[in-house]
């Protein structure tokens, strides 16, 4: 992985730029495991319980999840939001997956 992109993914940099432009304040990363992530922060004290990282299996899924976070449609329990059920190991702060 180099700067959040892989050699086998020529469109990754363009997709990352487009997502970062659409969602200012978020840093977009494509992992070597093939997952898309967005991070923001550090969060000010009065926003510490807001979602600060999001992941998805595709750029479209990440975009949908970021739109939901920006619209305030997340539970507010914890700071991670995952766009799909195959997002990897269970995280205890991800209350949506624990139900």
Check: CB of residue 74 under 8 Å from CB of residue 51.
Answer: yes
Q: Is the pLDDT of residue 48 over 60?
A: yes
pTM of the model: 0.68
99 assigned to some structural domain? no
Question: Kind and range of the H or E element at 61?
Answer: helix 59-70
6 assigned to some structural domain? no
2 assigned to some structural domain? no
pLDDT in tens, 6-16: 454 669 999 99
Q: How many structural domains comprise the chain? A: 1
Q: What are phi and psi of 61, to 5 degrees?
A: -65, -40
Q: What's the Cα-to-Cα distance from 95 to each of 52, 56, 79, rounded to whole Å?
A: 15, 16, 10
37 assigned to some structural domain? yes
5 assigned to some structural domain? no
3 assigned to some structural domain? no
32 assigned to some structural domain? yes
66 assigned to some structural domain? yes
Check: CB of residue 57 under 8 Å from CB of residue 31.
Answer: no
pLDDT of residue 61: 95
Banded pLDDT at 79 (limits 50, 70, 90)? low
End-to-end CA distance of the chain: 34
Check: CB of residue 88 under 8 Å from CB of residue 35.
Answer: yes
Domain that holds residue 76: 12-87
């Amino acid at each position: 992985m180099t700067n959040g992109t892989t050699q086998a993914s020529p469109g990754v940099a363009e997709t990352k730029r487009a997502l970062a432009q659409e969602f200012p304040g978020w840093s977009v990363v494509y992992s070597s495991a093939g997952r898309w992530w967005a991070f923001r922060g550090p969060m000010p004290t009065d926003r510490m319980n807001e979602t600060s990282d999001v992941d998805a299996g595709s750029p479209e899924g990440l975009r949908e999840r970021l739109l939901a976070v920006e619209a305030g449609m997340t539970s507010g329990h914890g700071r991670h939001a995952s766009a799909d059920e195959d997002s990897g190991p269970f995280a205890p702060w991800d209350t949506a997956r624990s139900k």
